[in-house]
Amino acid sequence: MFYRRKFYIVKNDFIEPFNKLFNEINMPNQLKHGARLIGRWMVPKDEETTEVFAIWEYDSYEAYLEIEKGVRSDTEHLKRIQTWYESHGGKENVKKENFLEVRNEQLISTVKEDKKTSNLM
């Protein structure tokens, strides 16, 4: 399995439109192309910013690359993204004004594969 964490530090006044983008546009497209969402969370950082991150699961790194290729070449999705950015002042403006940090990271398990399930109950 391959796990990916998409991580953002977002200005608080942009959390609502950012979450809407994820729920209505980005998540459905990822799922459509085969990504599996483990979950998405947010944590207040300070009075001005919030950390938002999602964890995605893929069968392998190669499967991740293939899914991303599909996501990034989906013309209907690209139109929806472009429209969303335009409605919020343009892509460069959104990035510059609302995101302090963005990371896309591989997660590496520290638990051996045979220890991931428990018979404690």
Residues 35 and 62: their CA atoms lie apart, in Å, by 12
Per-residue pLDDT tens listing for the chain (121 residues): 999 999 999 999 999 999 999 999 999 999 999 999 999 999 999 999 999 999 999 999 999 999 999 999 999 999 999 999 999 999 999 999 999 999 999 999 998 876 666 555 5
Three-class DSSP labels, the chain: CEEEEEEEEEEHHHHHHHHHHHHHHHHHHHHHCCCEEEEEEEEECCCCEEEEEEEEEECCHHHHHHHHHHHHCCHHHHHHHHHHHHHCCCHHHHHHHHEEEEEEEEECCCCCHHHCCCCCC
Asked if 45 and 51 count as a contact pair (C-beta separation under 8 A), the reply is yes
Reported pTM? 0.86
**CATH number of the domain at 2-102, please?**
3.30.70.100
Distance CA 120, CA 74 (A): 45
Interatomic CA distance for residues 1 and 74, integer angstroms: 24
